[in-house]
Every structure is written in C-alpha cells, then in structure tokens.
Amino acid sequence: MTLPRTPSFRLDGKRALVTGASSGIGLGATAALAEAGAEVTLVARRLAELEAVRDAVRTTGARAEALALDITDLAATAAAVAAHGPFDLLVNSAGLARHAAALDTTPEDYDAAMSLNLRAAYFLTREVARGLIAAGKPGSLINVSSQMGHVGGPDRAVYCANKHALEGMTKAMALEWAAHGIRVNTLCPTFIRTPLGEQTLAIPERRAWILSKIKLGRVGEIEDLMGPVIFLASDASAMVTGTHLIVDGGWTAE
C-alpha cells in the first residue's frame, strides 16, 4: 500500500513580492517566506527600513531585495512589477487605518484609506497576475484583509468598507484567473500586536472590548500569521482559491 504524501510547504525557487514589508504583518510574511525558501522582494515607502529587513533576511542565507515604492502610485507600481517580475507569490500587506466614528469621518481620511487598502491593492494584484499570465506561470496571490472584512466594529466604518470590498475583489479575481492556475485568497487577522495594532490596544476600553471578543483570550502575535501565510503560498493549499483564512482566535465564530 502506498500512502498519500503531504504536499510540500516549501517555496524553493519561488519569487515573492511582499508589500508593507518593513514592519508588522508584512515583516512577518517576509521572514516566513524566506525561511520556506522563497526569494523575497520587499516593498515599502522607506528604503532605510527596508534595507535593514533585507540585510536581516540575508544573514539567514535567504535571498532578498529591497524596493522602495509607494503602491498608491499606480503607474510606478505597474512599471516596477513589470521590471522586477514575474512574481510567483504576492503578500499584499500594505495598509493603513484612520479610525473614527462614522459621523466624524472626513473625506480626506476616507480617501486615504480607500486609496491604499483597496485601490492600490486592486491594481497591484492585477499587475502581478498580468505578469504571471504573460509568463504562462501559476501563482498564489494573498491579500491581507481582516476579520473586519466579515464583521463590523465601532469607529471602523471606513476600514470595514474597504476590507469587505477587498474580500469581494479577491473572489472575483480568483474566478477570472483560475484557468491560468493563479489562486487568489485573503488572510484575515484579528488584532495583531504590531505598530498599527498598538494604536488601538493602547486604549484601555478598546483593549478590553477586543479581549472580550477573542475567544482564545489573547491578542494575536505576528508569529500567529506566519504559518497561515506559508500554507496559502505553498502547494499545501493547491485547491484553495477565492476564499479567506480567518486567524481571529474565535472572534467571528459566534
């Protein structure tokens, strides 16, 4: 009798593009992909911080490059992806939050969040897919969404709006590109201890609310997302597309 074998979680020979790679979830994704054998191109706006991460990755023996880029500049992003691609893997982790009560939301904050979290994500994902299709290669594209792409929350009408839209965008793109072997999924974290997350966790009443919703009783850590990233990027998830992987400690289970 021949037993089935678990598909590989290794990413040797794969080229990955990670946005928001200088800190937080993007940094964790970079470390995870590099550890699994991928060559990682790190993208963020600040070159010095990117180079520090790149150098740290290289000390492990992995391959990494730093690319300073503002992905809200659609023309520059398209040119960069065309010049440096094709990329087998994408982890689109760049994002921002400007939380406010819906009655207090300014058009400027709305536009800033939508521009990065949705508009830039849409066109970046499209350009990576375009490169793969032109090269005749399959791929795995991961958009970092949120549990807030599936529920609501106080002071988060704009954030929930762009993350819910990101979920729909991902499903539609997955359908369009499945024939090319390109998988598109979202990773949906709960509150993670990152520089962005700490803005909310530092408010005692918000922290209490968060911990009351996370059934496992703790805030997420960057390491909690590294395994899920590798799963979605690797052949271990070869039949997974057009869906979401929620890492929320049970928040959305009720």
Active site residues: 159
Q: Cα–Cα distance between 252 and 164 in angstroms, integer?
A: 14
Q: Are 91 and 16 in contact (CB under 8 A)?
A: yes
Task: Return the number of other C-beta atoms located less than 10 Å from residue 203's C-beta.
Answer: 11
Sheet with 39-44: strands ordered across: 64-68, 39-44, 15-19, 89-92, 139-144, 182-189, 244-247
CA–CA dist 73, 154 (Å, integer): 30
Q: Is 72 helix (H, G, I), strand (E, B) or coil?
A: coil
Name the phi and psi angles at 239, rounded to 5.
Answer: -105, 15
Residues 6+ apart with CB under 8 A from 10: 36, 37, 234
Cα 149 to Cα 37: distance, rounded to the nearest angstrom: 30
10 Å CB burial of residue 204 (0-12, 13-18, 19+) is: exposed
Q: What is the distance between the alpha carbons of residues 238 and 139, in angstroms, rounded to a whole number? A: 10
